[in-house]
Amino acid sequence: MALFNFGRKKAEPEPQSLEAFLKGYSIEVMPRTAEKIESFRTILPTGTRVYVAHIEGTPIEDMVATAKRIGDEGFTVMPHFPARIIKDKATLSDWVARYKDVGVHQGLLLAGGVTTPVGDYHSSMQLLESGAFDGFDRLHVAGHPEGNKDIDADGSDRMVMEAARWKSAFTERTDAQMAMATQFCFEADPVIDWVNRLQAEGVKLPVHIGIAGPAKLQTLIKFAIACGVGPSLRVLQKRAMDVTKLLLPYEPTEILAGLAAHKAANPDFGVEQVHFFPLGGIKTNAQWVTDHGGASGVPASAQA
């Protein structure tokens, strides 16, 4: 953690830096939200990675059908594997086999938001060690720029950082292609400090930084509290106190401009890509990227 953060000069992004920073962005959907999209090709750039979130209670058949449909449209699909809702090795192997059958070879491995595991697994590290993902091209894991009180109840990030070092070591001793997809937050400076600290701690996983897409302020605050977003929640709380902004939708322009400018000035900065949580809707989020990302946001249908 930076002790003297007040001295950092706010970087001003070059006109092209935000476009470059958004290039290759990913986005997250759920089966029920994906059903509302007639064609992903009309809203997303060619090759966009689409994460499919697996919420407890969602049938695996719905997850696989959604993954197949998006993959058939020409996009890279990365379904979630939440450890705490997977009963046992047989269930995990069955899920992996189903995804492979429809051409999916990537996965986001995470503990999941369930407090009590339903079976044998409670962490992404157990999933990594299971051997079930042999044949997958890429495995992502979760990151927490502002800590995670479900893991470190004392408010520190001791166990979170220890897990990050373990995951980094795993990718070094195996042939796994990995990255860390993070929880969303709302300020650039804490993200910059955290990513730099990861590098100082020897964590070599590239970071795909989580960003909340455009949404109503009330919606964002609700999700931010439910997801355990840390101190950067103050950005939304401050905005909520300004009656001139209360009814205006939140847009992630400020945090992305700050991160983009820092990346442009520091090419070795560990953020590799942006990952969007489309809390205000997939179409709204995709259109925002198209409007702000230049060529990096052009839908596949417009590239034909």
Condensed to tens digits (0 to 9), the pLDDT of residues 67-100 reads 999 999 999 999 999 999 999 999 999 999 999 9
Q: Is 299 contained in some domain? A: no
Q: Is 303 contained in some domain? A: no
Average pLDDT over residues 270-298: 95
Q: Is 300 contained in some domain? A: no
pLDDT > 90 fraction of the chain, expressed in percent and rounded? 68
Q: What is the mean pLDDT of the chain?
A: 87
Two tokens at 239? Answer: 């905005």
Identify the pLDDT of residue 154. 62
Q: Is 97 contained in some domain? A: yes
The lowest-confidence range among 112-116, 121-125, 162-166, 245-249 is 245-249
The lowest-confidence range among 26-40, 44-58, 67-81, 222-236 is 222-236
pTM for this structure?
Answer: 0.88
Consecutive H or E run containing 172: helix 158-173
- 3-state SS, residue 3: coil
The lowest-confidence range among 63-72, 157-166, 287-296 is 157-166
State how far the Cα of 1 lies from the Cα of 137, in Å rounded to an integer.
Answer: 33
State how far the Cα of 260 lies from the Cα of 54, in Å rounded to an integer.
Answer: 30
Q: Is 167 contained in some domain? A: yes
Whether pLDDT at 7 is above 90: no
Q: Is 302 contained in some domain? A: no
Q: CA Rg, the chain, in Å?
A: 19
Identify the pLDDT of residue 5. 41
Range of the domain at 110: 14-293
DSSP state of 263: H
Average pLDDT over residues 210-223: 82
The total number of structural domains that make up the chain = 1
Whether pLDDT at 242 is above 90: no
Identify the pLDDT of residue 155. 58
Identify the pLDDT of residue 151. 62
Between 247 and 134, the more confident residue is 134
Whether pLDDT at 160 is above 90: no
β-bridge partners, 205: none
Distances 216 to 107, 190, 227, 279, 285 between C-alpha atoms, Å: 30, 23, 17, 9, 12
CATH of the domain at 219: 3.20.20.220
Identify the pLDDT of residue 6. 37
State how far the Cα of 1 lies from the Cα of 8, in Å rounded to an integer.
Answer: 14
Work out the pLDDT band at 233, boundaries 50, 70, 90: low
Average pLDDT over residues 276-289: 95
Between 25 and 152, the more confident residue is 25
Q: Is 214 contained in some domain? A: yes
Work out the pLDDT band at 161, boundaries 50, 70, 90: confident
Whether pLDDT at 304 is above 70: no
Whether pLDDT at 1 is above 50: no
State how far the Cα of 143 lies from the Cα of 209, in Å rounded to an integer.
Answer: 9
β-bridge partners, 141: 109, 180
Work out the pLDDT band at 229, boundaries 50, 70, 90: low
Consecutive H or E run containing 10: none
Q: Is 6 contained in some domain? A: no
φ, ψ dihedrals at 175, nearest 5° = -100, 20
Q: Which residue has the tokens 């997801």?
A: 227
Identify the pLDDT of residue 226. 64
Q: Angle 202-208-209 (CA atoms, 0-180°, nearest 5)?
A: 100
Work out the pLDDT band at 158, boundaries 50, 70, 90: confident
β-bridge partners, 211: 276
Contact call for residues 178 and 138 (beta carbons, < 8 A): yes
Whether pLDDT at 227 is above 80: no
